[in-house]
Amino acid sequence: MKKIWQEFKKFISRGNVVDMAVGVIIASAFTAIVNAIVNHILMPLITIAVPQGLDGLVTVLNPHKALATEETANTISYWGVTYDADVVNVINWGIFVNAVINFIIIAFVLFIIVKIINTLNNKRKALFKKEAEKNPQPAPKPSEEVLLLREIRDALKKETEEK
């Protein structure tokens, strides 16, 4: 059990886990923003074309069996027709279209963010490259041990060549 706890602490302390947690938190906040854009800006515009909004885009699979009567307690209405909610089978295309719109918005915004980050990274790399070209660093002097080892190597080569 102690070994598992140590491995868990090592896993948690890695930077990637913290970065991932921050990403999940930001993604959830970003999802709220996208949902607000879709539900409060795009949907009112779509409602002009589709009066009941995307939620009204449905296909009722058993319309004749599911028509509501006066005794029906649980009803649902699509395009002015009231159905018995306990009997009706519905394919809700509108929810799918809404999810696709959300996905496209999120994918586009993430594309823009990644593009900006890549551009900034490329500019940073180019700036560091220019700095390195302007101020070239001299090669470090070898240590005394390296110099001594080189002398020994050269002496051994010379001795081998003389034989």
* Torsion, CA 48, CA 51, CA 57, CA 62, rounded to 10: -160
Token pair belonging to 98: 């809404």
Q: How far apart are CA 163 and CA 159, in angstroms?
A: 7
Q: How far apart are CA 53 and CA 92, in angstroms?
A: 12
pLDDT at 34: 80
Segments making up each domain of the chain, as ranges: 1-49, 56-163
pLDDT of 129 over the 70 cut:
yes
pLDDT at 151: 92
Per-residue pLDDT, averaged over 48-69, amounts to 74
Q: How far apart are CA 71 and CA 136, in angstroms?
A: 89
Per-residue pLDDT, averaged over 114-142, amounts to 85
Burial class of residue 98, CB neighbours in 10 A (0-12, 13-18, 19+): buried
Neighbours of 76 (CB within 10 A): 17
Instruction: Let me know how long the chain is.
Output: 163
Chain centroid, CA 162 distance in Å: 68
* Torsion, CA 112, CA 116, CA 119, CA 123, rounded to 10: 170
Q: Which amino acid is at 51?
A: P
pLDDT range class, residue 57, cuts 50, 70, 90: confident
Per-residue pLDDT, averaged over 98-103, amounts to 82
pLDDT range class, residue 15, cuts 50, 70, 90: low
Q: Percent of the chain at pLDDT above 90?
A: 10
